[in-house]
Chains A and B, each alone.
Chain A
Amino acid sequence: MISPTSAAPPWHQSDAADDFFGQSIADPFRWLEDPSSPDVSAFIEWQNKKSSAWIPSDVADVYRTRLSELINYPRQSVPARYGKFVITHRNAGLQAHMVVFKQLGMDGEPEVLIDPNTFSKDGSISLSLLDFTQDGTLVAYGKSEGGSDNQTVHVRDVESGKDLPDILPEMRFSAIAWAPDNSGFWYNRYPDPDSRLNNTLYWHQLGTDPATDVAIFSDPENPEVAVYPAVSEDGKYLFVYQVVGTDPRNGVLFREIDRDKASAEGGWTILFQSGIAEFSVVANVGSTFYVYTDLGAPRRRLTEVVAGADASERMTDVIPQSSDLLKEVSLVNGKLIALSTRDVHSVLEIRTLDGKLVSDVTLPTKGTVGAISGRPEDKDLYFLFTSYTVPGIIFRLDMATGMTAEYYRSAVKFDPSAYATRQIFVDRGGSAIPVFITARKGLERNGANPTILYGYGGFGVSLEPAFNPFLIPWLEAGGVYAVANVRGGGEYGTAWHEAARLGARQTAFDDFTASAEELIADNITSPEKLAIEGGSNGGLLVLVSMLQRPELFGAVVSQVPVTAVENRWIWRSSSNQRSMRF
């Protein structure tokens, strides 16, 4: 082993090779894949010493001090109403975990209901699942250790704050759906906790031993199918969503809920077959189901269909596909609230049950709406708005008037009025690539502004405008922060993703480097002052860009990149294989 202080890196080549369709491809870096190897430790130590000596620690200290101030701000989630209780998640500033609070009505005094910071001394146990009964009297919550997929589910009485004796272990990737009468809940889990096969739906009757829970549904002919339960808001229907891995083309079964037959098998109607498209029943009025789908609509649409078999052939449009990407729809106070994105910023609309536009909800600026919280019987709803320099604002939306009122604003210790975000579009042979540019107002176009260009461009993931306190010191120091919504992402739906997959992968890299060229052509920055940054798939994006266009960039920050792709084209887990969908 070479000492970490020696000048040359402790480096060697391994003679590993993989056979791909008869062609052998060498992988001299394979030895670096064993993090427990002393050679790898020595290599990392050498790298860390080298970089620590190069990075100016006095500058890092200035940033660290400022970042510590910035992340210390109180924040809370959108309030959710269950019967007489209002539930919020709050963080006083530096708490490792958000705390769940209950209060009586919107004006009640918040009281701690569940504090995950008390689950363990070192903060390693987190809250992984939280499902309230419709009337808010009971909550099922999961505890997960060390970020594990495994969790143990407990049940708490909301009024008294005391746990019931029901404890369900080994709930990997489980979902819970309460019975409307609170007598118990349906949930899915793997019968053999060490296997990812034969996911099964169970009924748990409160007060009984979970070991005696009754299996009511599984798909033995397709053992890789997971079966997630859901109950309609009116308590009339139990749904089962059938999902294979990350394939979005799910199936849906349903049956009417009969309180005497909660643990019965059978009685299912196949609403949607698996493998056709994405289907989600977002609301119902009696036996009319409102279904969100991408069937024949890569940017999504909302349909309605009467409960029954083979619904995919009977659906009619309520909100047809448009040029916007329809993200979610819910039913509140007899109207539909539809959230879409248009050129990567949110559009919120109130529509009638037959899809007619009632009003466009006014938003503060181009940004992102999330966490919409309202139920069919509510008169209003709450939602979160955020953008690059707008820390979370929670608005109350009156469904009758369409008017919003600010309910809560995060108080971050910086002056957002000094900054602005604008969006440009980079022409790439008929496709317009959106780029958000955030900087101090009145930015001088001197070709010398220090600029970070960030990108991802894979897996259909969208980079939507959101507040990130970690960006603020860079902006305060005079930096520009640009985000390129390159193809491979999901910003405009499935087609935007498909346009940079497989044989078209280069498109994502070209979109990114074209965005860099635009920032230079606009005289915002120059190659010497331009850094590119990305993580995971974005880490790959910036590394490829660096190799293909080294003259365009002054610095590259690649975090946990998915490199060595030829060796990673299949994820291997304990029991199944899934191809990666860049």
Chain B
Amino acid sequence: MAIVEQSEIYAFLTRALNLALPEATMPTIEVSGVDK
């Protein structure tokens, strides 16, 4: 539930502040030693 709310807040801010889409800016992270 918290994830859904937080996702909607970020989506709201993306539109309200006229931001670039997160897909374009978020890196793909590979952390060594961590099971994905």
Contacts and interface: CB of A to CB of B under 8 A. Distances in A.
Contact of A478 (B6, B7, B25, B36): B25
Nearest to B21: A59
A293 B30 CA distance: 48
Contact of B13 (A62, A68, A557): A557
Interface in A515-564: 528-531, 533, 554-555, 557
A51 B19 CA distance: 18
A474 B19 CA distance: 11
Interface stretch (A75-83, A165-173, A196-204, A408-416): A408-416
A60 B3 CA distance: 10
B7 A414 contact: no
B12 A55 contact: yes
Interface in B1-36: 2-4, 6-23, 25-27, 29, 31, 33-34, 36
A73 B9 CA distance: 23
Contact of B21 (A62, A67, A529, A531): A62
B15 A59 contact: yes
Contact of B26 (A64, A73, A477, A528): A477
Contacts of A413: 29, 31, 34, 36
B31 A474 contact: no
A51 to B, nearest CB: 8
A414 B29 contact: yes
Interface in A29-82: 51, 54-57, 59-64, 66-68, 71, 73
Contacts of B13: 450, 452, 531, 555, 557
A451 to B, nearest CB: 9
Contacts of B19: 450, 477, 529
A419 B30 CA distance: 16
B25 to A, nearest CB: 5
Contact of B17 (A56, A60, A450, A533): A450
A528 B18 contact: yes
A208 B28 CA distance: 60
B10 to A, nearest CB: 4
Contacts, number: 98
Nearest to B6: A470
A470 B2 CA distance: 9
B26 A554 contact: no
Contacts of A66: 22, 26
Nearest to A65: B7
B11 A56 contact: yes
A370 interface: no
Contacts of B3: 64, 67-68, 71
A474 B10 contact: yes
B9 A411 contact: no
A62 B22 contact: yes
Nearest to B22: A477
A60 B10 contact: yes
A308 interface: no
Interface in A491-534: 528-531, 533
Contacts of A529: 17, 19
Contacts of A414: 29, 31
Contact of A476 (B4, B9, B26): B26
B31 to A, nearest CB: 5
A412 B29 CA distance: 10
A341 to B, nearest CB: 27
A415 B21 contact: no
B15 A56 contact: yes
A528 B19 CA distance: 10
Nearest to B2: A470
B26 A57 contact: no
Interface string A413-426: 11100100000000
A110 interface: no
Cβ-closest 10 pairs across A and B:
A60-B11, A555-B16, A64-B7, A63-B7, A59-B11, A477-B22, A60-B7, A63-B10, A476-B26, A411-B34
Interface of A: 51, 54-57, 59-64, 66-68, 71, 73, 411-415, 418, 450, 452, 470, 473-474, 476-478, 528-531, 533, 554-555, 557
29 contacts: A54-B15, A55-B12, A56-B14, A56-B15, A59-B10, A60-B4, A60-B11, A62-B21, A63-B11, A66-B26, A67-B3, A67-B6, A73-B34, A411-B34, A413-B31, A413-B36, A414-B31, A415-B29, A473-B10, A476-B22, A476-B26, A476-B29, A477-B22, A528-B17, A531-B16, A554-B16, A554-B17, A555-B13, A557-B12
Given A413-B34, A557-B12, 7 more contacts: A54-B12, A55-B12, A59-B10, A62-B23, A415-B27, A476-B27, A528-B18
Interface of B: 2-4, 6-23, 25-27, 29, 31, 33-34, 36
